[in-house]
Structure 1
Amino acid sequence: MKLLHRQIFKELSTIFTLSLSGFMGLILIGRLLQFRELFMTQSLSALEMGKLFLYLCPFFLLVLTPIATMLSIFLTFLRMSSDNEITALKSGGLSLYRMIPAPLVFCLICTLADVFFSMYGLSWGTENFRKALMDIARTKSQLAIQPGVFNTDFPGLVFYAEEVDDKTSRMRSVFVRDSTRKGMTATIVAPRGEIRTDSKNGRLLIHLEDGRIYQQEKQQLGVLKFSNYDVRIPLADILKGYDVDDPRPKEMAWKKLVRISRAKDRAQGLDERFLRKVDVEIQKRLALPVACLVLGMFAMPIACIFRGLKQQYGLIISMGLFLVYYTMLSLGITFGESGTLSPVVGLWTPNIIFAAAFGFMLRLAVKEKSLRFKIRLPKLRRRSA
């Protein structure tokens, strides 16, 4: 039995690795095409691009791990069934129940890995991805603001600095003309300034000290004196549409989601829809890791029932079953965010349905009942002239 479980586990691991690598490769190629304008305009190196993709991996692994788990178990037991290995094992006195430990342990390992992606990996990747984009934006801004040159690279803003230190980002004799606000133009003059990044709020700032603001609105002119003043540079313009403002619920750390959810009765200034999204995200972070266990174990009896099926057809069936699961999950997310359905009900119903289907299919597989489909084509009759 140890040898049997070891061989099954080895085959599961191999198919899982190949499946997950293939899915990740396809997604990263798609992201590369999506970010192509950003990469081309910023002249990023291969190492910097690799870091950005690495930071995005936990976000995709959270969804891809369940499907890779399901696919690996389905294809493994489908091959064993097609090669009559399961029949040979049954003739030797081993029932299907005794083959469960290997896929069960494999599913539990995948579940724990997905829990790690959900609780820690996703927030780590999102935070570092935002920081990397901030560094890119800061570098671009430092290159754009040249000493003694009026810079107009940022829509609605004109920058000028008499001196710029590339190492410390400090500037002297700074002039800024801000016309981003409708109906008002502000001219800011300061003896000192500095380029700063606020990665927490996703902002790039031009920090000015001991200067004056000349505001012109219609026919009125006002003068304000300040000690410290920040001019925000629109990151969407620098990063070609990729803004990094306040993180959305799906990008937040687990602790922050729980803190917002528990304090929602006392939360001030938070939209009700935003709070519903937080509750939905919490349930999704819990439901997807459990899906590794549910879908993986569901795939085992399904593969035995569809014995004799070719591998390519098995791949189509497993992908179709996961599509059914993901469609149900997406509907639960939509209904939960709109307030039509409780997030607990919407996000956990797919797991409950597939868990119940696993019990039913396992009984059919143990009784050696299979599902066979016949396609009948209508017969064509010749009509006599």
Structure 2
Amino acid sequence: MKLLHRNIFKELISIFTLSISGFMGLILIGRLLQFRDLFMGQSLGALEMAKLFMYLCPFFLLMLTPIATMLSIFLTFLRMNADNEITALKSGGLSLYRLLPAPIIFCLLCTGADFYFSLYGLSWGTENFRNALMEFARTQSQLAIQPGVFNKNFPGLVFYADGVDEKSGIMRSVFVRDNTRKGMTATIVAPLGEIRTDPKMGRLLIHLENGKIYQQEKDQLSVLKFKNYDVRIPLANILKGYDVDELRPKEMSWKKLVRISRAGDRAGDIDPGFFKKVQVEVQKRLALPVACLVLGMFAVPIACIFRGLKQQYGLIISMGLFLVYYTMLSLGVTFGESGVLTPVIGLWLPNITFAIISVVLLKMAVMEHSFSIRIPFLKKFRRKEA
């Protein structure tokens, strides 16, 4: 039995590795195409691009681990069923229940890994991804502001610095003309300035010290002194339209999500729509890892009750079944955010439904109930080839 479980586990690991690698490759290629303008505009090297993709991996792995788990178990048991290995084991006195320890351990390991991505990896990747983008934007802006040159690359803003320290980035004798506000023009003069980033708020700022603001509104002119003043630089031009704004619920850390969801009496101070999104995200972070166990156990009887099914068709069926699960999950997210269903019901209903179905199908598989898959148009195609 140890040898049997070891071999099953090895096959599960190999298919899982191949599946997750293939899915991640396709997604990262898609992201590369999406960010091509950003990468070209920032003149990023291969190492910087690899870092950005690495920071995005936990977000994708959270979604891909359940489907890779289901696919691995489905294809493994489908192959064993097609090669009559399961029939041979049953004839030797082993029931299907005796084959479950290996897939159960495999599902638990995948669930644990997905919980790590959900509770820790996602926030780590999001934070580092935003910090990296903000650092690229700061460097690009610092390069754009050349000493003794008026910079007009940003709409509504004109920058000028008499001198710029290349190492520290500190600017001297800074002049800024701000036309971003309707009906008002602000001219800012300061002896010192520095480009700073605020990754949490998604802002790139020019920090000025000990200067004056000359505000002109219609025929009125006012002069204000300041000790510290920040001019916000629009990131759309630097990051080619990529949105780096305040953290959205799906980008927040687990601790922050729980803290907001447990606001209690203070929940009234939070935007109701945002509060519902936070509650939905909390349940989603818990439901997706558990889906590894649910979908993995669902794949075992599905693979056993279908006979005469080749692996390529099994791949289509497993993807279709996961699409059903993902559709139910997406509906749960939509209904939870709109208030039609509570987040607990909306996000956990797919897991409960698939868990009940898997128990029923497992009993059918143990009782050796099976379905024969016949695809008529494939038979006609084979006859024409013959």
| Partner SS, residue 266 of structure 1 | helix
Q: Deviations over 1:333-354 (max 9, x none)?
A: 0000001110000000000000
Once residues 32 and 363 of structure 1 are traced to their aligned partners in structure 2, the CA distance between those partners, rounded to angstroms, is 46
Shift in CA distance, 376/316, structure 1 to aligned 2, threshold 3 Å? closer
Which residue is 1:353 aligned to?
353
* TM-score relative to the length of structure 2: 0.96
* TM-score relative to the length of structure 1: 0.96
| Matched letter for residue 160 of structure 1 | Y
% same residue: 79
Tell me if 1:94 matches 2:98. Answer: no
Give the deviation of 1:180 after TM superposition.
Answer: 0.9
Give the deviation of 1:327 after TM superposition.
Answer: 0.1
1:177 touches 1:186 (CA, 8 Å); kept in 2? Answer: yes
Once residues 341 and 138 of structure 2 are traced to their aligned partners in structure 1, the CA distance between those partners, rounded to angstroms, is 43
Which residue is 1:295 aligned to?
295
Once residues 368 and 307 of structure 1 are traced to their aligned partners in structure 2, the CA distance between those partners, rounded to angstroms, is 11
Tell me if 1:262 matches 2:255. Answer: no
Once residues 308 and 95 of structure 2 are traced to their aligned partners in structure 1, the CA distance between those partners, rounded to angstroms, is 19
Shift in CA distance, 38/99, structure 1 to aligned 2, threshold 3 Å? same
| Matched letter for residue 304 of structure 2 | C
Which residue is 2:154 aligned to?
154
| Matched letter for residue 283 of structure 1 | Q
Which residue is 1:145 aligned to?
145
Give the deviation of 1:220 after TM superposition.
Answer: 1.6
Which residue is 1:129 aligned to?
129
Q: Deviations over 1:178-232 (max 9, x none)?
A: 1111121111001111111112222111111111111111222111111110101
240-249 vs 120-129, greater mean Cα deviation: 240-249
Once residues 213 and 155 of structure 2 are traced to their aligned partners in structure 1, the CA distance between those partners, rounded to angstroms, is 19
Which residue is 1:237 aligned to?
237
Once residues 269 and 223 of structure 2 are traced to their aligned partners in structure 1, the CA distance between those partners, rounded to angstroms, is 32
Q: Deviations over 1:258-304 (max 9, x none)?
A: 00011153146521000000000000000000000000010001000
Which residue is 2:17 aligned to?
17
1:20 touches 1:65 (CA, 8 Å); kept in 2? Answer: yes
1:82 touches 1:309 (CA, 8 Å); kept in 2? Answer: yes
Give the deviation of 1:307 after TM superposition.
Answer: 2.3
Once residues 212 and 5 of structure 1 are traced to their aligned partners in structure 2, the CA distance between those partners, rounded to angstroms, is 75
Give the deviation of 1:306 after TM superposition.
Answer: 1.1
Once residues 50 and 104 of structure 1 are traced to their aligned partners in structure 2, the CA distance between those partners, rounded to angstroms, is 34
Tell me if 1:64 matches 2:58. Answer: no
| Matched letter for residue 151 of structure 1 | N
Once residues 376 and 267 of structure 2 are traced to their aligned partners in structure 1, the CA distance between those partners, rounded to angstroms, is 62
1:264 touches 1:275 (CA, 8 Å); kept in 2? Answer: no
2:177 touches 2:187 (CA, 8 Å); kept in 1? Answer: yes
Which residue is 2:380 aligned to?
none
Which residue is 1:317 aligned to?
317
Alignment of 1:1-80 (within 5 A): 1-80=1-80
Shift in CA distance, 344/89, structure 1 to aligned 2, threshold 3 Å? same
Give the deviation of 1:375 after TM superposition.
Answer: 5.9
| Matched letter for residue 311 of structure 1 | Q
The alignment of Structure 1 onto Structure 2 pairs a total of residues equal to 377
| Partner SS, residue 206 of structure 1 | strand
Give the deviation of 1:147 after TM superposition.
Answer: 0.1
Once residues 96 and 265 of structure 1 are traced to their aligned partners in structure 2, the CA distance between those partners, rounded to angstroms, is 52
Which residue is 2:249 aligned to?
249
Give the deviation of 1:308 after TM superposition.
Answer: 2.0
Once residues 312 and 121 of structure 1 are traced to their aligned partners in structure 2, the CA distance between those partners, rounded to angstroms, is 33
1:258 touches 1:282 (CA, 8 Å); kept in 2? Answer: yes
Once residues 376 and 163 of structure 2 are traced to their aligned partners in structure 1, the CA distance between those partners, rounded to angstroms, is 82
Shift in CA distance, 268/204, structure 1 to aligned 2, threshold 3 Å? farther
| Partner SS, residue 146 of structure 2 | coil
Which residue is 2:306 aligned to?
306
288-297 vs 164-173, greater mean Cα deviation: 164-173
The CA RMSD over aligned residues, in Å, is 1.1
Give the deviation of 1:145 after TM superposition.
Answer: 0.3
Once residues 224 and 56 of structure 2 are traced to their aligned partners in structure 1, the CA distance between those partners, rounded to angstroms, is 44
Which residue is 1:383 aligned to?
none
Q: Structure 2: any 5+ residue segments left out of the alignment?
A: 378-386
| Matched letter for residue 291 of structure 2 | A
